[in-house]
Amino acid sequence: MSDTINIEVVYALPHEQILLKRKVPAGTTVAEAIHASGVLAKHPEIDLATNKLGIFGKLTKADAVVRDKDRIEIYRPLIADPKEVRRKRAEEGKAMKKGGGDA
């Protein structure tokens, strides 16, 4: 069995997606894998203390140990609260239906 495993680190911006494939030692944590990927040097706005992290869409902690072929995802903070956006959209829809026309 090999002492290294293959992982991917992904980070998405509005107009750019970064996918970095790396080999890391078995037993590497999520945080160590992110540091080894080099993504932090290219994107200093990433703060591992505040950005949420995941593996294949499931939230995880920075000290979790990665497995072979894991895809580590770095999530950006939401700009708008989805519940608030939905509520506003629903209110606008109701207002439009009430004032449907003068015909």
Q: How far apart are CA 71 and CA 56, in angstroms?
A: 6
pLDDT of residue 78: 73
pLDDT of residue 85: 81
Q: How far apart are CA 92 and CA 5, in angstroms?
A: 51
Q: How far apart are CA 103 and CA 97, in angstroms?
A: 14
pLDDT of residue 34: 96
Sheet-wide strand order for 4-13: 16-25, 4-13, 70-74, 53-55, 58-60
Q: How far apart are CA 17 and CA 24, in angstroms?
A: 22
Per-residue pLDDT 10s for the chain (103 aa) are 569 999 999 999 888 999 999 999 999 999 999 999 999 999 999 999 899 999 999 999 999 999 999 999 999 887 777 788 888 888 887 655 555 555 4
Q: Where do the domains of the chain lie, and which CATH numbers do they carry?
A: 4-98 (3.10.20.30)
pLDDT of residue 84: 83
